[in-house]
Amino acid sequence: MNDPRPILVDALNFLSQTTIINWQDLSTEQLLSQAVQNWQLDSIQPGGRIVTYYD
């Protein structure tokens, strides 16, 4: 797997962070930039289940 974006989106979702609906249209750098701009520490919930896009 050469594209890290699905894993980044999975990690952001696991951490209850807002993700861009059309993240597939963004470069890795753009996705990370959006993640940093929209980071909400208060959104992170303890525990949880990982749901992946590539299963």
Question: What is the model's pLDDT at position 48?
Answer: 61
Question: What is the model's pLDDT at position 37?
Answer: 92
Alpha helices by DSSP H, listed for 1-55, are 5-14, 28-37
| Cα–Cα nearest to 50, from 13, 19, 23 | 13
Question: What is the model's pLDDT at position 13?
Answer: 86
User: Which residues of the chain fall short of a pLDDT of 50?
Assistant: 55
Residue 27 tokens, joined: 């470069």
Query: What sign does the dihedral 20-25-28-33 (CA atoms) show?
Result: negative
As a whole number, the mean pLDDT across the chain is 83
Question: What is the model's pLDDT at position 52?
Answer: 62
Query: What sign does the dihedral 31-32-37-38 (CA atoms) show?
Result: positive
Full-model pTM: 0.71
Question: What is the model's pLDDT at position 32?
Answer: 93
